[in-house]
A = this chain, B = another copy of it.
Amino acid sequence: MPESPFAIDLEDIRSAAELIRPHVLQTPCIHHERLSKRLGCELFFKAENLQHIGAFKARGAMNAVLRLSEQEASRGVVTHSSGNHAAALARAAAIRGITAHIVMPHNAPEIKIASVRSFGIEPIFSEPDAQSREAKADEVQLQTGAVMVPPFNCAEVMAGQGTVALEILEQVENIDVILAPVGGGGLLSGILIAAKSMRPDIQVIAVEPELADDAARSLKSGQREQPTRYDTIADGLRTSLGDLTFPIIQNLLDELLLVSEEEIVTATREIAEQVHLIAEPSGAVSYAGLRSNTDRFKGKRVAAVISGGNVDFKAFPLS
């Protein structure tokens, strides 16, 4: 059998699933009757907003930390993140009983800072720009010898996120389409490898905010493009693709849909009102893509991944 041309293969994801099973939730994949009727498809929500730390990120970070050798683990781990990966890595390190150094921009949302602290870890604050964050993380790594665990561009992290698709395939018979948001591409590339290896006929469709359309432009140009602005409400999707995630997306993705800010807000609100789940705007993007393209999904069995639910309630777009 030829080597996989990609950073991960199905075996990596299966083995991640085995390893992280005691430490992550098998989140429900909830059928929604009323929206199915309205949209003309059979709709299931994969509720990763109910995952530990409130996002799928718990999976990849857990796999990465458990994969470290004893020797590596003894040096601790380090990352920089303004988002859910920070809490995910803090939690994974706490479970393995090792040190974690978490660099966060000083203007990160209170809820994300509190989440890291709930694992007994005091974040190291940096200036908000990407350069300052990376510089600070590099500095910490140099000083401590800790192992860097990046938020998405990392085989172990991608394999962990791919376990979401293994569960969907187990939970929903004859699924036709999986819809997932794309930011750095960790979740999307994991889902692509899992789904396309097991059931090549499953369509995997990515959804991206118009205001953060770097993945759409990357697929057109054939090379990784950078975001041009950082102000989409879907704050988890403001990053560009990685060199490990991009080739998988470029080769295996069936389609990418773009959604407006207004569509994201409407989707977030509908998920709360109709499904009774709190999604963060990044987590509602997959459903936004579905409800704005219903013709595309008529009669299909569709799973939309709600990737997370951590949201500052003062800014929650309910009304």
Q: Which residues of A contact B (CB under 8 A)?
A: 25, 27-28, 30-31, 33-34, 37, 47, 49-50, 52, 54, 111, 118, 269, 272-273, 275-279, 309, 313-314, 316, 318-319
Contact = CB atoms under 8 A, between A and B. Distances in A.
A210 B102 CA distance: 45
A319 B118 CA distance: 22
B313 A319 contact: yes
Given A276-B49, A276-B54, A316 B318 contact: yes
5 contacts: A28-B50, A30-B50, A50-B277, A313-B318, A318-B318
B273 A313 contact: yes
Given A28-B47, A37-B118, 10 more contacts: A28-B50, A34-B52, A34-B118, A50-B275, A272-B278, A273-B278, A276-B277, A276-B309, A313-B319, A314-B319
A297 to B, nearest CB: 20
Q: For A28, A37, A111, A313, which residue has the most chain B Cβ atoms within 10 angstroms?
A: A28
A198 B86 CA distance: 43
Q: When A and B form their complex, which 6 residue pairs have the shortest distance between CB atoms, in order from nearest?
A: A276-B309, A28-B28, A276-B278, A49-B276, A33-B52, A313-B318
A25 B118 CA distance: 34
Contacts of A313: 269, 272-273, 318-319
Give the number of copies in the complex.
2
A269 B313 CA distance: 9
A34 B34 CA distance: 32
Nearest to A28: B28
Contacts of A25: 30-31
A314 B272 CA distance: 13
A52 to B, nearest CB: 5
Contacts of A269: 313
A313 to B, nearest CB: 5
Contacts of A54: 276
Nearest to A91: B33
Nearest to A280: B276
A118 B35 CA distance: 11
A50 B74 CA distance: 43
A318 B314 CA distance: 8
A80 to B, nearest CB: 23
Contacts of A28: 27-28, 30, 47, 50
A319 B276 CA distance: 17
Contacts of A273: 111, 278, 313
